[in-house]
Amino acid sequence: MRIELIAAVPEIFDSVLKNGIFRIAQEKKLIEIHVHNLHEYSNNRFGHIDDTQYGGGAGMVITCEPVFACIEKLMSERNYDEIIYMTPDGKPLTQSESNRLSLLQNIIILAGHYKGIDQRIRDKLISLEISLGDYVLSGGELPAVVLTDSIIRLLPGVMTNAESALEDSFQSGLLEAPLYTKPAEFRGMKVPEVLLQGNHKEINKWREEQALIKTHERRPDIQT
């Protein structure tokens, strides 16, 4: 899989891409991640990529020229399955969407910044708009990292224990059951006895019940 990250502040990606699951996936050659600085595609002699809004209003808007120049260059080199724009008014990110994206070959992720991007970019180039939630950040770089993480952790061979990803919250439409590890008792708080007996049928039954209870209490909106 190949992911292109396009951003106004690409330096935000530097540390993240060199650590954790990002480093592992790249070292195993299961994914290629390429970062593109929008300022390098500007035709402005100062490297500016934003301008004031038509019609007035606070906040600067990323202009068409550098984004079109960057994405069209990438598209001339290979085909892309999705060109994604991270935006608060996009489609909420779900586990099922991450699952789908993990099956693709080539993806472009555009991280917005400032007030946003010119609508003509969205109309002409973007195939999918994704939001992390009903809130606004100073830029789309961090949401782009989150989306990338949610995708690459699903790639076969990235995680040591592939079953771990399959048991995550939302994979089954439910939140994950409570987790426990050693010691069996800590400051008077005990691990549920069923988890200590080694009866996997009963353990699975307990986990299913706990997942249902937890989902009902915390996220009744996602129950099927």
Confidence of residue 223 (pLDDT cuts 50, 70, 90): low
Residue 163 has pLDDT above 70, yes or no: no
**How confident is the prediction for the chain on average, in pLDDT?**
92
Confidence of residue 160 (pLDDT cuts 50, 70, 90): confident
Residue 166 has pLDDT above 70, yes or no: no
CATH 1.10.1270.20 is the classification of domain 168-222: yes
Confidence of residue 161 (pLDDT cuts 50, 70, 90): low
Range list for CATH 3.40.1280.10 in the chain: 2-152
In this prediction, residue 30 carries a pLDDT of 97
Phi, psi of 128 (to 5 degrees): -150, 130
How far apart are the C-alpha atoms of 47 and 55, rounded to whole Å?
Answer: 24
Confidence of residue 172 (pLDDT cuts 50, 70, 90): low
How far apart are the C-alpha atoms of 75 and 40, rounded to whole Å?
Answer: 17
Residue 185 has pLDDT above 70, yes or no: yes
Max intra-chain CA distance, the chain: 70
Which two three-digit tokens encode residue 110?
Answer: 């555009």
Which two three-digit tokens encode residue 117?
Answer: 């991007």
Radius of gyration of the chain (CA): 21
State pLDDT tens for residues 18-60: 999 999 999 999 999 999 999 999 998 889 999 999 999 899 9
Range list for CATH 1.10.1270.20 in the chain: 168-222
In this prediction, residue 162 carries a pLDDT of 53
Whether pTM exceeds 0.75: yes
Positive or negative, the CA dihedral 183, 184, 186, 187 is negative
In this prediction, residue 224 carries a pLDDT of 55
157 touches 27 (CB < 8 A)? no
State pLDDT tens for residues 108-153: 999 998 889 999 999 999 999 999 999 999 999 999 999 999 999 9
2-152 to CATH, choices 3.40.50.720, 3.40.1280.10, 3.40.50.1000, 3.40.50.360? 3.40.1280.10
Residue 213 has pLDDT above 60, yes or no: yes
Residue 221 has pLDDT above 90, yes or no: no
* Percent of the chain with pLDDT strictly greater than 90: 84
